[in-house]
Chain A
């Protein structure tokens, strides 16, 4: 039974003792979509993914992968997905090639030529034992093992940790290829440039709560636009203009932020002599910091779900 929804999450939550690792979460990822799942360490990203994989049991709620229950139809659901962990620990006594062979056979489907290609592109020596790989090389191995399945859904949990910039670029190409091939990608990350470059939609998690979800354009629309204006004379009082905040005056120049519609500000500005007007959309980093910057650090302890 084909369904256009790759991931459907309803009221999914997880508590570890007193700690609410994930507050009831509702989220939907359409097939073919690339979703960036953002949040600082300990926000609940890994917990979400491990719940989706059925490695953790939810406190409440449910999750479906292509319409298959993540907890009850685990094996069937896993036939449609591939998972790459952020900290790949693999059997130290097996070689890279043996690991790829094993995981491919267990997965049930492998694109053989693609595997050879990825080994080349990621510059991995598969004859070495996992024990002797660096962290980055182990991460590459985990990535290749996940990607070669060409699964309908890729669940990637901080997949580029430990990779150098060249390999990171190669990873981005792989995700772009996956997207072009119609695969769905759920990319958990805190590398904002990566998410900005790859994702159609972004979900932001904070302290176990989903605080924002939408396209980057949506999120930018919700947040402040940065405006810098230079006047021919000392600037007028702009603080009464609706939506304007954070005004900094520096001689004839003014730097400010504006939330919501910009028309009132533009009207006010055109009424006086403006010689130069610069405006800039916030980067994802600014959006992200706006979400977290003001937050007092209540969660001092990092919690990884596997520790509980």
Chain B
């Protein structure tokens, strides 16, 4: 099974080129994703530039935009600071760098851990290192490969920004557009380096990705807290994502803020290379034990196994979401006060919801996104059991396919439901502990409201798992990413009803800012269940398929 994926397509005759093999291997596996996300950046720039004048034609409209979104401390906490929102430049930079830039950074860290630790774990590094190269050189090569992917991403973004920016009103200078492209990929560069470093620290791809994602989450929360109150603004310098915000492209570019970004990227990448040279192939720097006393309590059935295997990831998601809810909840009171002292459009626009509830609506939008990611992760883990051949050992024994799948889905649903309830509860704890005026039932309902999104993703993923198993994981993650982009960007641009309807998030009320729409939540759950049942039936009838 590994033979077909030997990454060197053409055997390289001369030994001196073998050191370059990792560069090509990594770059070749990265360029499609880089092109895709470069395309998303391009589309986004085009949409923002072309729609801004249409959506906000008059000075009054733009003033209104600044008064609402620009002064909305809640969205600045969640999506980063906005500057000069009344100009097409500020509006574009805010969405491209502050929002999409972070989504792409998550892709970057996942890609880095997959291509470094994932490939090593799968034994494919052995083939590379059998050539005349050292571990250190191979790691440097792989990181250079990541750099090439990043360059592809930047080139596409920059080309689009320059071409489209010329037609903006007023036009962006070529230099400003190039700088915006740098700002757009800056977070990706840093978190690719974080991913490369975590790949040296952890022994498995999953651990490395979780570690890198945890660091990303911490940086995100720091940025959110920094934006939540004037007394804490200095904290933005503590978060790498805060540095990216400080670049302020298109409006008042600050190239100096590139220094910490560049420095961090170089230091982390160098550290990764040095550490790679100091460890054995397949080993990790964080202590892992190769032996363990048997713990067999759960290992009596496929269901027990599913829980045993998924427990670490599940607890990680619960802890991460719970902590995120608690920390973001803590700033609810500040948001409430900021709004209370403002006059203007916010209250009219949101139909009288309190500032705190509006802010929490955005918090739960992010939580819905993350729960969707957790659901996609469950789909990926289920597929992995089959792709890696582990499932053969169960299904060759007296285990029915449907009962195995049902066990996995039961664990997944339990994790998603637990995440929703726990996050709702802890967000309320955070909010009330600082004196914000929110009711437990309202926030808890907002937490429960995210569960249907997870079940929907799980259901669609299971459908694909039955019908086209190799597409299950990318489609599940793609559905979540697409929904988020359409919800954030599409809504800002007044996109067509039809386009907005393709976003899963659009069908859920933005609780607690708006009352939970239980009917559409129930429909999402029902569609998810039906999709899962069809997928399960298809799975029971098809061939098992390897990677």
Could you list which residues of chain A lie within 8 angstroms of chain B, going by C-beta atoms? 50, 53-57, 74-76, 78-79, 81-83, 85, 87, 89-95, 97-98, 101-103, 105-108, 125-129, 131-132, 142, 145, 155, 302, 304-308
Contact = CB atoms under 8 A, between A and B. Distances in A.
A98 B304 CA distance: 12
Interface in B378-423: 388-390, 392-400
A107 B3 CA distance: 31
Given A74-B400, A127-B294, 9 more contacts: A53-B395, A75-B399, A78-B397, A87-B389, A101-B296, A102-B299, A106-B394, A127-B292, A306-B1
Given A55-B544, A89-B390, A127-B293, A101 B299 contact: yes
Nearest to B294: A97
Contact of B398 (A97, A108, A308): A108
Nearest to B401: A74
Nearest to A101: B296
Contacts of A108: 397-398
Contact of A89 (B290, B389, B398): B389
A279 B443 CA distance: 91
B435 interface: no
Interface residues of B, number: 38
A98 B393 CA distance: 14
B302 interface: yes
B398 A107 contact: yes
A107 B397 contact: yes
Interface string B1-18: 101100000000000000
B295 interface: yes
A79 B398 contact: yes
Nearest to A85: B392
A82 B301 CA distance: 17
Interface string B505-547: 0000000000000000000000000000000000001111110
Contacts of A56: 543-544
Contacts of B295: 98
B256 interface: no
Interface in B274-300: 289-296, 299-300
Contacts of A53: 395-396
A50 B399 CA distance: 15
Contacts of A126: 294
**Binding site of A, secondary structure by majority: helix, strand, loop or mixed?**
mixed
Nearest to A98: B294
Interface of B: 1, 3-4, 203-204, 289-296, 299-302, 305, 308-309, 388-390, 392-400, 541-546
Contacts of A83: 392, 396-397
Contact of B296 (A93, A98, A125): A98
Interface centre among A56, A94, A131 (most CB of B within 10 A): A94
Contacts of A107: 397-398
15 contacts: A55-B395, A57-B541, A82-B397, A91-B305, A91-B390, A94-B299, A101-B294, A102-B296, A106-B399, A128-B291, A129-B290, A131-B203, A131-B204, A142-B393, A155-B396
Nearest to A146: B396
Contacts of B203: 131
B542 A57 contact: yes
A89 B388 contact: yes
Contact of B291 (A102, A106, A129): A129
Given A95-B294, A306-B544, A306-B546, A106 B397 contact: yes
A126 B291 CA distance: 9
A307 B393 contact: no
Contacts of B299: 94, 98, 101-102, 105
A93 B309 contact: yes
Contact of A57 (B3, B291, B393, B543): B543
A95 B291 contact: yes
Given A75-B399, A89-B388, A106-B301, A306 B296 contact: no
B4 A307 contact: yes
A287 B398 CA distance: 38
A19 B402 CA distance: 29
A75 B400 contact: yes
A87 B1 contact: yes
A102 B293 CA distance: 14
Contacts of B394: 106
A304 B396 contact: no
A306 B398 contact: no
Contacts of A307: 1, 4, 545-546
A103 B397 contact: yes
A74 B388 CA distance: 22
A28 to B, nearest CB: 22
B386 to A, nearest CB: 9
Contact of B545 (A74, A76, A308): A308
Contacts of B399: 75, 78, 106
Nearest to A91: B390
Given A57-B542, A98-B299, A131-B290, A75 B388 contact: no
B258 to A, nearest CB: 41
B211 to A, nearest CB: 16
A132 B302 CA distance: 23
Contact of A308 (B290, B300, B543): B543
A74 B204 CA distance: 34
Contact of A90 (B294, B390, B542): B390
| Interface-centre pick from B204, B541, B546 (highest chain A CB count, 10 A) | B546
B146 to A, nearest CB: 25
A-B complex: 9 closest residue pairs judged by Cβ atoms = A306-B546, A83-B396, A132-B290, A102-B299, A97-B294, A89-B389, A78-B398, A101-B296, A105-B300
Contacts of B388: 89
Nearest to B387: A306
A94 B393 CA distance: 14
Contacts of A142: 393
